[in-house]
Structure 1
């Protein structure tokens, strides 16, 4: 074993010590309030970003590109990872969490513009993302630099994932679908680590969202109005 994993086990001992009674109410079942779909990225601390240390509260999914889709024999469908808590535990809020500087969005952008060579597993993931990003790449203004292009496409990808969920017959109409971007690159006006709301049930107009949700007005912000 490498030293870094041994250190993780040592930290887990501290975790276990403080969690001895925390699982009492959720040992046999779960009813999470929210399911989040985050990008698999070491910089995105999926539970910690919400200040969550309560088992059973957030059902956390992760994959590169915060995708909500999977391919089945009958076509593209809502990922079972996302759908499970909605279908079986009564979860009424889905949050799609993109992040600034997303490597999956970057790789998909490069594949769409220049072509890339990746191992089969990564190529499969990019192929799932490409249909969501292709029209966004076409809409990019000519004058934007690469960094700005990627962060615009991060928002675009979140919007398209939200749209897919909102249009799916598998997601009940009373489930809220929210799109956000986690920023650690000083792209938005908040602090590093702030989550910025960009989409609520398909509504992307910042002024409209701020008017409807004044209690979180300062957290509603977009970089791209396309």
Structure 2
């Protein structure tokens, strides 16, 4: 039976903290699985690992890896140390940007890197079940979703299909920026969107907010600079 199936059984067997405890126990004690070691076991260590990996990426000194090595072992389970809520933009690949091997990052992506119900559940699963120690909301420069939201809010135009849903979702975080003076409105909107989603995840009940308060999880924000590849904390 897969990890998710064992985890799902735990999630459905109770409510609140009981459900989380049951889920973690189901995954970590299953006789059929030997969980891999986690690369970082504290929020600070996990964040430091991301920063160090990005520094290697920017300098062009990424670690050499045989991606086939460990493939069989990964069928036994996963122990990612960090989760990334990133944009769906094809130019930003978190595993490369942070120079991490398969199994190290738990990634949720949506155009505009904002919290959706499904994304929230995924991040909760990553933290409570898989044991991720840090969640990074990762925006990027020249974000088309953010730019479209800024333009729609300024001009009042409606985007076609479900693209308009992206604007509605990002509006609360971005709209205040339109009312404040300053240069480079679109980049300020990128940062504001990241920060709004960080604040939400830091207080989201019943799982993430409690883990943050207990010091078991850190939620941070950053953006990826397309020209340089550098990830800048905000």
Which TM-score applies when normalising by structure 1? Answer: 0.67
Q: What is the SS of the residue equivalent to 1:47?
A: helix
Q: CA deviation at 1:81?
A: 2.6
Greater CA drift, 119-128 or 19-28:
19-28
Q: 2:185 maps to which residue?
A: 149
- Aligned residue for 1:176? 218
SS of 1:96 mapped into structure 2 = strand
Q: Which range moves more in the overlay, 79-88 or 55-64?
A: 79-88
Does 2:77 correspond to 1:29? Answer: yes
How far is 1:139 from its partner?
Answer: 2.1
Contact 1:107 1:116 (C-alpha < 8 Å) held by counterparts: no
Contact 2:137 2:198 in 1 (8 A): yes
Give the match's secondary structure for 1:95.
strand
TM-score, length basis structure 2: 0.65
Question: How far 1:100 sits from its partner (Å)?
Answer: 0.7
Distance 1:115 1:70, change over 3 A: farther
Name the one with the larger helix percent.
2
Provide Cα deviations, 1:2-50, integer angstroms capped at 9, x if missing partner.
xxxxxxxxxxxxxxxx533322332121111000011111211221111
What is the deviation of 1:133? 1.2
Q: Where does residue 40 of structure 1 map in the other structure?
A: 88
In structure 1, the gaps of 5 or more residues are 1-17, 72-77, 186-191, 199-226
| 1:73-222 mapped onto 2 (5 Å cutoff) | 79-141=120-182, 144=183, 148-169=184-205, 170-171=207-208, 172-173=211-212, 174=215, 175-185=217-227, 192-198=228-234
Structure with the greater relative contact order (CA < 8 A, sep ≥ 6): 1 or 2?
A: 2
Query: Does 2:113 correspond to 1:66?
Result: yes
